[in-house]
């Protein structure tokens, strides 16, 4: 399952992977956040992978990259994506996604903690609890 919200203060897309994740989950979530009235062109993303067990094959990750590329006019092509996970499988996912999306993202990096990821994305160290606090649709 994949859920997301636009953070009202930090103006980033917070995407939370939980449990098994499929290609349909990724595409459906992408469509939901770009349709959000608070979404902005080239908005940076924070992707929380620690609670997930992606069931994706390499071809499905490439298919998702192509899906995003088709909507580049809406999503943009100069945004940052910070992936958060300490798991090696998440690194493989992030690396393949980064390679397949190099034409439409300016930068993607993997971090072991939310604080470091937020420092890179928004210039402030924010912990996970603070980031998700008081957000009623929080993925936690």
b (16+ CB within 10 A) / e for 52-70: bebebeeebbbbbbeebee
Residues 38 and 6: beta-carbon distance below 8 Å: yes
Each domain of the chain, given as residue ranges in start order, spans: 2-132
Per residue in 29-81, pLDDT (tens digit) is 999 999 999 999 999 999 998 888 777 888 888 898 889 889 989 998 888 99
Given CATH 3.30.750.24, say whether it is the number of domain 2-132: yes
What pLDDT was estimated at residue 117? 96
> Regarding predicted confidence, which is higher, 44 or 87?
44
């Amino acid at each position: 399952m994949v859920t997301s919200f636009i953070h009202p203060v930090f103006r980033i897309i917070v995407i939370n992977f939980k449990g098994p994740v499929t290609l349909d989950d990724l595409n459906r979530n992408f469509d939901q956040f770009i349709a959000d009235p608070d979404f902005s062109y080239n908005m940076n993303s924070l992707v929380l992978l620690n609670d997930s067990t992606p069931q994706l094959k390499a071809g499905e990750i490439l298919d998702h990259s192509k899906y995003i590329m088709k909507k580049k006019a809406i999503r943009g092509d100069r945004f940052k994506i910070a992936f958060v996970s300490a798991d090696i499988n998440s690194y493989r996912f992030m690396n393949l996604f980064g390679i397949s999306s190099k034409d439409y993202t300016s930068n993607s990096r993997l971090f072991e903690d939310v604080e470091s990821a937020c420092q890179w994305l928004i210039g402030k160290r924010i912990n996970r609890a603070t980031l998700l606090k008081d957000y009623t649709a929080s993925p936690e």
